[in-house]
Chain A
Amino acid sequence: MFYAYIFLPFMSAILVPFLFKYFKHRVHTGWFVLLVPLSIFIYLSQYIPSVAAGGTYKYTLSWIPSLDVNIVFYVDGLSLLFGTLISGVGSLVIMYSIFYMSKAREALHNFYIYLLMFMGAMLGVVLSDNLLVLYGYWELTSVSSFLLISYWYERKSSRQGALKALLITVLGGFGMLAGFIILIMMANTYSIREMIASLEVIQSHVLFIPAMLCILLGAFTKSAQFPFGIWLPDAMEAPTPVSSYLHSATMVKAGIYVVARMTPIFGGSSVWFWLVAGIGIITLLYGSLTALKQTDLKAMLAYSTISQLGLIMCLLGVGSLAVYYGPGESGTIFTVAGFAALFHLFNHSTFKGSLFMVVGIIDHETGRRDIRYLGGLMQVMPITFTIALIGGLSMAGLPPFNGFLSKEMFFAAVNDVSKAGIFGLGSIGILFPIIAWVASIFTFIYCMIFIFKTFGGQYRPEKLTRKVHEAPWGMLISPVILAILVILIFFFPNVLGKYILSPALTAVLPTMQASSYDLKISAWHGINLELLMTFGVIVVGFLLFTTSKKWIQVMRNYPQGLTLNHWYNQALTGTERLSASLTNKYMTGSLRHYLIYIFSFFVIVLVSSLLLLYGIRFDFSNHAAISIFDVGLVLAMVIAACTVLFASNRIMAIVALGALGYMVSMFFVIFRAPDLALTQMVVETVSTLLFLLCFYHLPKLKKGIERIPFKLMNLIISIAMGLTVTLLALSANGHKLFEPITSFFENAYELAGAKNIVNAILVDFRGFDTMLEISVFAIAGLGVYILVHQRSKRREQYENE
């Protein structure tokens, strides 16, 4: 039953094209697709009561049992929180997309297949217990995200955005794979459960830190943390339902999920705390600052997503301190930070999802997404405005919306960190609340810009491309549901806390006893530092917002050359150019250059291995005597070879080559090899004839066409080659490791009935060689025939001309 739901998105994706084809003009395909996440949501909701009571479920599906790799799904609080988010927001997004995506114009089958693929992959990521399976699903989310971003593939910006997202997330994915493999090696198991059970082995291992860094690389790239966040704004080229689903509510939280999942393993170490909390808070500041400059609403929301993800990441880092302290008073304080992370994660999904849908509605109804053209939409789109107001104010952290609660808890957490006094926090811990506070001011300002530059001010219909009216009801359903959730959570946060967040927290921080801390979220908790900070945010933010015309222009003039995007582009084109020039440098297309590489490699490797590994020893003891006749023959051969070398005309070179061949056959006579001498003589005659036959057609040998450096290079290499071969042959000749096996073949008469041993070897003992040699000959003959007879197209052209 469980598997049916988990694999439902993949299964139903197969059906989508058929549904699209048969109901093309009657029913929007999205209505069928809507059933999938809805049924998954309902199914997963059934787990909530039992998981809240502390139950966990494990489902194992055999996949590669011989390697111990099985598809293991594990349902606990954390995966259930994510699972319900994925299926719940997924249903709303598909509902929204039914009205957003045109039935007539869009390739809906592609859209819904990719979306379902993504949904299935994401469910797999959060439910997998086997690390390798988790990685598989993880890459599937990258791939489906790539497909969704480039959904309008005819646009250049879509393709570029998709490529960027893929490059960065897959880079991180590979890092994570490496980290997972290290982790698997350390713990000797694939299961996260069992890793947590054998913590001591992992934490004392040498590779503990490298594994952590690799896994964090994956988590940070996926969750768009600093400095890997640059892909997220470009991913806004995707259709708005995709941006809303993938790039605000689910996929970008996959990194956060991994960090939360790995907290029991890595949490408690200072590197983990500093990386997660430090990068998180930098991302928070960077995202909120950059969001201010944006004029495109979607880009603004993208940077705001980056910033909010940084906030959650920072809270998770702070929460990991609880692992360090263990159960106790200090531990409890930081456990609350972990709780805040999960709470804000949920809140962010609600309000950011609704805000993206609002932007989609504005885009859909006005044809514009740039705040410089928008304004005064309050009168024409009251419902959209209300949703935007709720979402925006919640994002800014104002009551009575859920963002307020999680922002208060965030402030409390960073205040606690500044007082913690471990991991070197004593001296610079105070930076945490300061940065958090400043970033919150920026967040407040861009939320105000988002709401009031779009909906407030002058209504200018002449600047908009369409006649503006309120969005259709279907498009409003999903954002309205999300906005209602935003308010409901503010008033009843403890319902959510008790049933969903507490069990999730137990999964993140299993060492903490759930009963030891009181997880009551209260909207009013007395006048304390956090409330004063929020008050300060509102006052300062409001002042800055009213004067924003003056200073925001200064921010927009920030030089392009210093942005992360610019560096990314430079690095991309730079590496491309570098590799191209590198390849062009050695792949010259000249045969001679390649031969030089090959020969040099041959010489260097052989000589150095001879000298370094074996040492050269010569042994001349067994050598035969030299007669005058031999010396004369050798000299004659050298002269013949040099004649070939220096010959200035073809005839001379060919005749000298022939002489060389005949002298080789004379050597065979001396060496008591009559068959060889015979063959060599015949072959040499025939090949000399062949040369002579061809020579009339062949070009004349030219002298002096090669320059001196060219010749010098050739000389050096050829002498080196000759010396290497000589050296090798000399050192090899002196050493016979064992007796040759020739004595066996001397039984040729008994075994093969032949008196000529060489011939017996050729046709009897080793007849296969001869057979294949004959086929070589046949193929060469055919080749020659074809080459001679096939008429060349180019030659015909010449002849026709």
Chain B
Amino acid sequence: METLMVILVGILISVGTYLILSKQMLRIVLGVSIVGHAVNLLIITSGGLKMGTAPLLGETAPGFTDAIPQALVLTAIVINFAVTALVLVLCYRAYRNFGTDDMEQLRGNEHE
């Protein structure tokens, strides 16, 4: 299962990287979002999968799944979301201001 997840993470990272390298701003935001998902899955995976029950003390089955990666991912999800929201609005502003979403055109003065 871990191997399968790792391969999935690899594919997601590839897709995300490809999107980040493209010219259009929106694609870059999409790419960042996908890489975020990939990393979250990787953190969970590295804690070991399907071992035991959910980390709730009421459960009776022996052993819990690792709670630390879950706490970490929970934090990561929220921060990811905050960043995505900010970047999205930034894109919107940049597009409104400069009239283009082509990253190759959004360069310093001497490249215009």
B17, B38, B97, B108: the one within 8 Å of A589 (CB): B108
In the complex, what's the smallest C-beta–C-beta distance from A10 to chain B, in angstroms? 46
Query: Can you list 6 contacts pairing A with B, beta carbon distance less than 8 Å?
Result: A630-B1, A644-B15, A679-B78, A742-B67, A784-B89, A788-B89
The residues of B that contact A155 with a CB separation of less than 8 Å are none
Q: Are A697 and B86 in contact (CB under 8 A)?
A: no
In the complex, the chain A residue whose C-beta lies closest to that of B38 is A725
> Is B14 a contact partner of A719 (Cβ separation < 8 A)?
yes
- A696: nearest residue on chain B (CB-CB)? B92
Are the C-beta atoms of A742 and B26 separated by less than 8 Å? no
- Chain A: residues with Cβ within 8 Å of the partner, total of 98
CA distance A709 to B107 in the complex (A): 21
Specify which chain A residues have a CB less than 8 angstroms from the CB of B27 in the assembled complex: 653, 701
Contacts A718-B21, A784-B85; A773 near B66 (Cβ below 8 A): no
Q: State the CA gap A624–B1 with chains docked (Å).
A: 5
Given contacts A718-B14, A741-B68, 16 further A-B contacts (CB under 8 A): A626-B1, A634-B5, A634-B8, A641-B11, A642-B15, A661-B37, A671-B50, A694-B92, A697-B96, A698-B91, A740-B68, A756-B55, A757-B57, A758-B55, A777-B78, A792-B96
CB distance from B52 to the nearest CB of A (A): 7
Contact with B along A690-725 (1 / 0, CB 8 A): 110010011101100110000001110111011101
A754 to B67, CA, bound (A): 13
Docked-complex contact B85 and A698, CB < 8 angstroms: no
**A633, B106: Cα distance in complex, Å:** 39
Q: Is A529 an interface residue (CB 8 A)?
A: no
A794 to chain B, nearest CB (A): 5
Is A588's beta carbon under 8 Å from chain B?
Answer: yes
Question: B82 to chain A: which residues have CB within 8 Å?
Answer: 776-777, 779-781
Please tell me if the beta carbons of B15 and A755 are within 8 angstroms of each other in the complex: no
Interchain CB contact under 8 A, A590 and B65: no
Q: Quote the shortest CB–CB distance from A688 to chain B (angstroms).
A: 10
9 shortest A-B CB distances, which residue pairs? A722-B14, A726-B10, A780-B82, A718-B17, A718-B18, A589-B107, A757-B55, A624-B1, A761-B71
Compute how far the CA of A661 lies from the CA of B38 in the bound complex, rounded to whole angstroms: 10
Tell whether, in the assembled complex, residue B79 and residue A672 are in contact, meaning their CB atoms are under 8 Å apart: no
Complex Cα distance, B51 from A622, in Å, reads: 10
Q: Tell me, in angstroms, the Cα distance from A641 to B70 when the chains sit together.
A: 23
Residue of A nearest to B11 (CB): A638
Is residue A53 contacting chain B, with contact meaning CB distance below 8 A? no
| Contact stretch, chosen from A145-153, A219-227, A591-599 | A591-599
Whole-angstrom distance between the alpha carbons of A637 and B14 in the complex?
Answer: 13
Q: How far in angstroms is the closest Cβ of chain B from A790?
A: 8
User: Measured between C-beta atoms, what is the minimum distance from B95 to chain A in Å?
Assistant: 6
- In whole angstroms, how far apart are the Cα atoms of A793 and B110 in the complex? 21
Give chain B residues whose Cβ lies under 8 Å from the Cβ of A713. Answer: 21
Give bound CA distance, A644 to B95, whole Å: 21
Measured in the bound complex, the distance between the Cα atoms of B57 and A755 in whole Å is 5
Q: Name the contact of A792 in the complex, choosing from B52, B97, B104 (C-beta under 8 A).
A: B97
Given A690-B85, A722-B17, A755-B57: A638 touches B8 (CB 8 Å cut-off): yes
Decide if the interface of chain B is mainly helix, strand, loop or mixed: helix
Partner of B58, one of A590, A680, A755: A755
In this complex, what residue of A is CB-closest to B104? A590
CB atoms of B74 and A758 under 8 A apart: yes
Instruction: Find B44's partner among A631, A671, A697, A706 (CB 8 Å cutoff).
Output: A671
How far in angstroms is the closest Cβ of chain A from B97? 5
Residue from the list A588, A645, A670, A706 in contact with B23, Cβ < 8 A: A706
The interface bits of chain B over 69-94 (1 if a CB of A lies within 8 angstroms of the residue's CB, else 0) are 01101110111111111101111110
Q: Chain A contacts of B95 at CB under 8 A?
A: 697-699
**A6 in the interface (beta carbon within 8 A):** no
Most buried by A among B57, B91, B103: B57
A745–B68 CB distance below 8 A: yes
Determine the distance from Cα of A637 to Cα of B101 in the docked complex, in whole angstroms. 28
User: Chain B nearest CB: distance from A115 CB in Å?
Assistant: 44
Using A592-B103, A770-B75 as known contacts, say yes or no to A715 and B18 having CB atoms under 8 A apart.
yes
Contact B67 A725 (CB under 8 A): no
Chain B residues positioned under 8 Å from A581 (CB to CB): none
Q: Are A729 and B11 in contact (CB under 8 A)?
A: no
Contacts of A650 in B (CB 8 A): 26
CA–CA, A590 to B50, complex, Å? 44
- Contacts from B to A (Cβ < 8 Å): 1-27, 30, 33-34, 37-38, 40-42, 44-58, 64-68, 70-71, 73-75, 77-86, 88-93, 95-98, 100-104, 106-108, 110-111
By a CB distance below 8 angstroms, the chain A residues around B15 are 641-642, 644-645, 718
Residues in B with CB closer than 8 Å to A638 are: 8, 11
Question: Does the CB pair A686–B81 fall under 8 Å?
Answer: yes
- Docked CA distance A235–B108 (Å): 40
Chain B residues within 8 Å of A687, by CB: 33, 81, 84-85
Known A588-B111, A729-B42, A755-B58; contact A699-B9, beta-carbon cutoff 8 A: no
**Chain B min CB distance to A338 (Å):** 60
**Quick check: is A664 within 8 A (CB to CB) of the other chain?**
yes
Flag whether A733 is at the interface (Cβ < 8 A): yes
CB-CB under 8 A from B10, the residues of chain A are 722-723, 725-726, 729
Partner of B49, one of A671, A766, A787, A795: A671
Q: Which residues of A contact B100 (CB under 8 A)?
A: 699
Contacts of A625 in B (CB 8 A): 1, 50
Shortest distance in angstroms between B71's beta carbon and chain A's nearest beta carbon?
A: 4
Q: How far is the CB of B92 from chain A (nearest CB, A)?
A: 5
Per-residue CB proximity of A761-801 to B under 8 Å, as 1/0? 11000100110010011011101100110001011000000
Residues of A within 8 A of B81 (CB): 683, 686-687
- Residue pair B101, A698 in contact (C-beta under 8 Å): yes
- Output the least CB separation between B13 and chain A (Å): 5
* Chain A hits for B64, CB < 8 A: 742, 746, 757
Check A474 for interface membership: any CB of B closer than 8 A.
no
List CB contacts (< 8 Å) of A554-605 with chain B.
588-592, 595-596, 599
**Chain A: which residue is nearest B27 at the CB level?**
A701
Of B22, B37, B110, most A-chain CB atoms within 10 Å: B37
CB-CB under 8 A for A679 and B33, given A624-B1, A697-B96, A757-B64:
no
Q: Report yes or no: A699 in contact with B101, Cβ–Cβ below 8 A.
A: yes
Question: Which of B3, B21, B40, B52 lies in contact with A717, CB distance below 8 A?
Answer: B21
Contact (Cβ within 8 A) B107 A714: no
B30-A653 in contact (CB<8A): yes
Whose C-beta in chain B lies nearest to the C-beta of A599? B17
Q: Does A54 contact B (CB under 8 A)?
A: no
Contact between chains at A664 and B46 (CB < 8 Å): no
Task: Determine if B12 and A641 form an interchain contact, defined as CB atoms under 8 angstroms apart.
Answer: yes
A721 contacts B89, CB within 8 Å? no
Measured between C-beta atoms, what is the minimum distance from B105 to chain A in Å? 10
Q: CB within 8 Å of B: which of A393-447?
A: none
How far does the alpha carbon of A661 sit from the alpha carbon of B77 in the complex, in Å? 11
Instruction: Decide: A660 and B37 in contact? CB cutoff 8 A.
Output: yes
- Report the minimal beta-carbon distance from B104 to chain A, rounded to whole angstroms: 6
- Residue from B3, B51, B90, B108 within 8 A of A620 (CB atoms): B3
A723 nearest in chain B by CB position:
B10
> Does A676 have its Cβ within 8 Å of any Cβ on chain B?
yes
- The answer to whether A762 touches B20, judged by C-beta atoms less than 8 angstroms apart, is no
